[in-house]
Structure 1
């Protein structure tokens, strides 16, 4: 009679729980569930550690299919206790047209207080989100004053004149506390251009400017020209071109990548 094969030994069986938590806090959510599925021991171990589930990270640098993303979200259930544990979701750069929008996350996780969905040019539509949230408020799907949300980051470098005020207005009705956004309207009278909350420093003299690049197209201190956010790394790109030329790459007169803005 053959003896049953013993379960494979896991090094995590001897590691202190504090260290296990520290290790798994660095994993994105798909990788975390992949490890959880490797054995019953790992499943019991990870489900017994609420701190590693409080922050859900979808890493845009990790290759993923949208079917896997939605499958992962379905694994957060009341039955396993994970749904109410989640407090923070980070999905920066996750710009697939089929990726979940912020409303999906707000409805899914009742205790979500921090949501970061930046650099999602194709999937961010503040006006549409505001309309849907108003409809959900009217129907009672999301009752007034029920959201735990306190911080919402939605900025991308191509954000122009997205209608911000309707979103702010509906969030004031839905959230228990005031929601801090990472975008605002330009401080210039009559301008509705969307800019970041943090004021921009001039790369030449360090002067701080709170108005958008359309209202103030040059630094008022050193007169250095200002550019849109999506080409704010001009110096880095020019340095890359200089390095490429220095390495002997062919090319006559270098074309100015920003001449379109002249």
Structure 2
């Protein structure tokens, strides 16, 4: 019994509260928790990222060398890396699909869907490179033109199975007529579509529709042969004869031999083999002029 004669009401109330507190029954309560409650442990801290201390300029330089699938794979490793990469617009301005990296088309389209207005990536992209990406289900160049409104450079070379200039021109004309792509709305200024097996693809319709859709004149990496009556597709860069180095202005079908050395010309898809054989012939000729040809295995003697 506790007497409250000389205590205030508040002091008595505090005393009775302490008498009935759970810590007075320490033995039973502690035993109960030891039997049923697991031991609490501190959460494991997230691993430290080395990119937290690297200057932003160096981080940008590192990630500019990655293809787009590898870039998103790294972005998904942690929230810190996600915030870091999304805060660096320069690494998203150029999208590279590396044909030497093993990829599924499902992953390619999933990656393209991640460029949205919500995360600000869709309007950042200015250049797309997909050279050698010749899977039948790979994205068409028109898909990329519609996807990225500020795209000014598109390179889709060495895509023999997926390049059809006539079909692309027809689709672009339909999109222009329907208003899907308004006239003068494309930012495109450079388009590379060449592959070594291009023959007589209809180039003029594509050039005509691009002049209507683009704000500026689009520079292509292909042109029609300059010979009268010939519409063979050739590259815009200068092609030199493998024998004498003379610049060849017309296609190999119009002029089947070099005008300088009279050496036979070959189509582009066997040009590399031609140069290799020529270099071997020159090497053999120099060996004969210098006297007895050296044994290939003499270095081991």
The TM-score with structure 2 as length reference comes to 0.79
Aligned pair 1:61/2:100, yes or no?
yes
Change (3 A) 1:54 1:2: same
CA 31–166 in structure 1, closer or farther in 2 if over 3 Å, else same:
same
Closer, same or farther: CA 240–224 of 1 in aligned 2, 3 Å: closer
- Is the partner of 2:171 in helix, strand or coil? helix
Q: Which has the higher contact order (CA 8 A, sep 6+)?
A: 1
Tell which deviates more after alignment, 218-227 or 238-247: 238-247
**1:46-77: CA deviations, max 9, x gaps?**
00000000000000000000000000000000
Quote the residue 2:216 is aligned against.
Answer: 177
User: Which has a greater percent of helix?
Assistant: 2
Structure 2 unaligned spans of 5+? 1-39
Distance 1:238 1:47, change over 3 A: same
Task: Using the TM superposition, name which of 226-235 and 239-248 deviates more.
Answer: 239-248
Q: CA deviation at 1:235?
A: 3.9
SS in structure 2 of the partner of residue 115 of structure 1: strand
Maintained 8 Å contact 2:142/2:168: yes
Q: Residues 3 and 157 from structure 1, CA distance in 2 versus in 1: closer, same or farther, beyond 3 angstroms? A: same
What's the secondary structure of 1:233's corresponding residue?
A: helix
Shift of 1:204: 1.1
SS in structure 1 at match of 2:43 = coil
Per-residue displacement from partner, 1:103-130 (whole Å, max 9, x unpaired)? 0000000000000000000000000000
* Count of residues in Structure 1 that have an aligned counterpart in Structure 2: 262
Structure 2 Cα separation of the partners of residues 188 and 259 of structure 1: 51
Inter-partner Cα distance in structure 2 for 1:26 and 1:33: 13
Pairwise CA distance, 1:257? 24
Change (3 A) 1:109 1:249: farther
Aligned to 1:125: 164
CA deviations on 1:5-50 (whole Å, 9 max, x unpaired) are 1111000000000000000000000000000000000000000000
1:156/1:245 CA distance change after superposition, 3 Å: same
Instruction: Report how far residue 199 of structure 1 moved.
Output: 2.0
How many Å separate the matches in 2 of 1:95 and 1:38?
A: 30
Which structure 1 residue ranges, 5 or more long, are not aligned?
Answer: none
**Shift of residue 240, structure 1, vs aligned partner:** 11
Larger of the two Rg values belongs to structure: 2
Instruction: Please give the alpha-carbon distance, in whole angstroms, between the structure 2 residues aligned to 1:172 and 1:57.
Output: 26
**Secondary structure in 1 aligned to 2:103?**
coil
Query: Does structure 1 conserve the Cα–Cα contact (< 8 Å) formed by 2:223 and 2:234?
Result: yes
Q: Which runs of 4+ in 1 moved over 3 A?
A: 235-262
Q: How far apart, CA to CA, are the structure 1 residues paired with 2:300 and 2:93?
A: 44
SS of the residue corresponding to residue 279 of structure 2 reads helix
The CA RMSD measured in Å over matched residues stands at: 6.6
Q: Could you give the per-residue CA deviations for residues 205-229 of structure 1, whole angstroms, max 9, x where no partner exists?
A: 1110110000011100001111000
